[in-house]
Structure 1
């Protein structure tokens, strides 16, 4: 069996893809951009094939790179879950609650609101556990799961959090450049997110749901997670399907604007579940009640 690459090289590789560029990854890892480039080439030499198509700007993952990225992300999440499970079995602080949700939901909805939560409840610590699944599983040690789906799960007490709205959005600069042009999506760059979850809404789902003309010939960008896609949209690189849960704050702040096409109301909704195995159900319920109250106030 071929020896695995050093973990530091895999970490650099995943960080570049998540951050959206070598420059942003260098800033996040506090190293030089040349160090990032060198690490990526070392990884390619170790594996024995190219991971990036450098003939494009920005460079895109090759098929081999895409396979490796999915493996790195999946195994990182499994390792994170395993460590969380071990910690949960070892000890569980009475004022600590673990919430599981997707990376995009944690980044753009949950985390920005936790600061206000801590002002109201300074004695409660909320640990955020991220996953690629729209309906995270209730692992040992997970108290709360925020899920997108049909609402029927048997591993906890589930309550409605909020309905989702999805519509095409883009940066104000891109909107200005496209002002006066046709809203035909076949003529503008689309941003796609390749997400291995049946509850995920794609451009194909949007076209089918709203009756819009499929953009078969459209130029587009593809990303493996929603955070990367959102960064591309914020940078004016294309139009993405904006979810209220993750892009709502961007729209409120004027960082993204609706493209002027129909809003999609998916059948699935966001729910919040309290695990039957929670060791701190009373504390977890305080968190749930606060998040539901916050979501209701924002939508009303």
Structure 2
């Protein structure tokens, strides 16, 4: 099969539209349409159902799209390895992390990485779904548990615990709980126990809920919980690493915390020699070391 036609087919299938694919490929809609018709004729198969709302792949089209997607991923891998054979650190680095850690810990520290490598292009994908690194859905991942996928290099970065925090203004107006049962007299801010989150957080929330909490605000990510705490709405269940960037928060019931949640960095074995990966790995490691030192100094003080 003609690779040019396959490339155009892949773009159309990905966009679901001849017009949008043409814009991506810098081709006219008629030119894209001719190439798709020629490919269908060479295969003696219909690849798309034509609808007013756009194009939908047929069963044969789905099979071909799976094949071209695999080809694109392998080409991306080859391009990445070719680029990484050079001395400079540049190009795109696709990083995936959980929404909470990615937005509240990683993103605020990225200026340090960009200051060292201004030509680096980072695509930060924040979601709870575990992306398939060997299939190149992302280049590197930071996850709140050890990755189970094969052919990955993994490094444990740190441990996190879920704790209870509130703002000084909230505690001034509502009082400070002295024991866990006092939670029943306060508004609890946490992730919904049914939402995707670390199991240690779910366990702590479930334990708190047994005390007949008077008022409750649930959010589907830690960023929302943090905003609730900073807005003086109540006592929030949050990861302990946030206290460094939000020192105004007060830890409540210091004897209450979750089990430790391990934080891992992982990337595919085939990117072992990637200079972009190495730059990102070293940046995260240095930030973690500095974070641990500050925490140790604070505890000693």
Please say whether Structure 1 and Structure 2 have the same fold, judged by a TM-score greater than 0.5.
yes
Distance 2:70 2:113 in 1: 25
Higher strand share: 2
Per the alignment, residue 62 of structure 2 pairs with none
2:286 paired with 1:293: yes
Deviations 1:116-154 (A, max 9, x none): 111122232222111124x55425241110011145542
Count of residues paired in the alignment? 210
**Does residue 1:100 correspond to 2:96, yes or no?**
yes
Counterpart among 284, 290, 293 of residue 277 in structure 2: 284
Match of 2:185 among 173, 187, 192: 187
Distance 2:170 2:277 in 1: 42
**Aligned residues of 2:177 and 2:253 also touching (Cα < 8 A):** no
Residue in structure 1 matched with residue 243 of structure 2 by the alignment: 248
1:47 matched residue in structure 2: none
Contact kept in structure 2, 1:191 and 1:222, CA below 8 Å? yes
Matched, 1:174 2:170: yes
- CA drift of 1:248 comes to 2.9
Q: SS state of the match for residue 190, structure 2?
A: strand
Matched, 1:235 2:255: no
Q: How does 1:33-44 map to 2 (within 5 A)?
A: none
The aligned residue for residue 9 of structure 1 is none
User: Offset at 1:272?
Assistant: 0.4
Structure 1 regions of 5+ residues with no counterpart? 1-83
Cα separation, partners in 2 of 1:176 and 1:218, compared to 1, 3 Å = same
Q: RMSD across aligned C-alpha pairs, in angstroms?
A: 3.1
Question: Which string of whole-angstrom CA distances, capped at 9 and with x for unpartnered residues, describes residues 141-186 of structure 1?
Answer: 4111001114554241000111112210012211222346544111
Could you state the TM-score of these two structures normalised by the residue count of structure 2? 0.60
1:262 alignment partner, one of 255, 272, 283: 255
Stretches of structure 2 lacking an aligned partner (at least 5 in a row): 1-68, 84-89, 294-301
- Tell me the secondary structure at the aligned position of residue 265 of structure 2: strand
Change (3 A) 1:155 1:244: farther
